Copies of this chain bind each other. A is one copy, B any other.
Amino acid sequence: MKMPLETPLAQSLPASVPFVGPEAIERRRGRPFAARLGANESTFGPSPRVREAITAAAAEAWMYGDPECTDLRAGLAAHLGCAPDQLVAGEGIDGLLGYVVRLFVAPGDRVVTSDGAYPTFNYHVAGFGGTLVKVPYRDDREDLDALLTAARDSGAKMIYLANPDNPMGSWHPAAAIEAMIAELPENCLLLLDEAYVEFAPADAIPRVALDDPRVIRMRTFSKAHGLAGLRVGYAFGAREVIRSFDKIRNHFGLGRVAQAAALAALADSAWLDEVRRQVAEARDRISAIASANGLISLPSATNFVTVDCGRDGAYARAVLEALEDRDVFVRMPFSAPGNRCIRISAGRPEDLDRLADALPAALKAAKSA
């Protein structure tokens, strides 16, 4: 019996995983990590009120979630100062990225991103048959002019930009993003991934006209709100663009428990402030640990710090693996020249104690590798 034929596009795709999860590394190692600092999760956890909301929602877990996410969208709309029909909630930014690529990228269409930017976005572009055009980072930041030029030259349907950026932690000021939007080529969408926006300085948040159909912004409860384990993201922009998601999204995909948790997280601004404060402290501590070991940390507007290991990608990889050997999970940027760095999430004090203990020996091991 033969396997039925996949579509030509599906046949062309590798069975790839954009990221190997820390659980897979732990299974390979045969023991758990002591400090989980690789996935930019919020080690400070969701707020106690969110935990209460999840417990309360557990009793209602037999009911499907509202497919229109009415309460959550109303809360988000009030938070953002937009109308509820200018936003859509979904299964994390990852899920929403897949939808937007599916809506706008036909096989052969060009899509511009930075070389070393978010792999899951690239995965979706490839998955719908799009062709990626990659632009190098410049001075460890995404190069806005080069992204625009590449979009213009290639007739791209879409530009992906994360601000603040992952994996470098860098950011552009609002004025630069606004100037970029003014120069967007005809029929080109700017996908502005703001997953880390809660950690950014106020001047990193551009003003975008809410009726501008050329810009879709995405945010998440997985980072600052500590809900990566429930996967709630949202996209907002012009009504006609947001409405298009209804053509293809998994309408009941965002469950009742996740919606309730996200709404509770949105309401607990005191917790968010506290997380921000602890993240700022953790960033300073990571910089100090790096510095004490002769390494330079890059400025960060996120909940992680990217640390320059000072040599090439192979060396940074060796440092990362030596940290893993010492039960500290971190990640590193994929592409040169960013891959001279390792990326360390803002941990709790006890997580960073572990890092501080492990790093000197890890560097020594990497140097002799």
Contact = CB atoms under 8 A, between A and B. Distances in A.
A198 interface: no
B46 A252 contact: no
Interface string A184-214: 0011110000000000000000000001111
A226 B13 CA distance: 36
A57 B55 CA distance: 9
B1 A212 contact: yes
A21 B251 CA distance: 10
A248 B109 CA distance: 18
Contact of A243 (B15, B241, B257): B15
Nearest to A190: B4
A75 interface: no
A293 to B, nearest CB: 27
A94 B67 CA distance: 13
Contact of A3 (B158, B222, B240): B240
Contacts of A23: 66-68, 70
A368 interface: no
Copies in the complex: 2
Interface residues of A, number: 94
A261 interface: yes
Contacts of A145: none
A54 B63 contact: no
B157 A247 contact: no
Contacts of A238: 3
B106 A9 contact: yes
Chain B CB count within 10 A is highest, among A44, A63, A241, for A63
A62 B221 CA distance: 10
Interface in A31-68: 36, 39, 41-46, 50-51, 54-55, 57-68
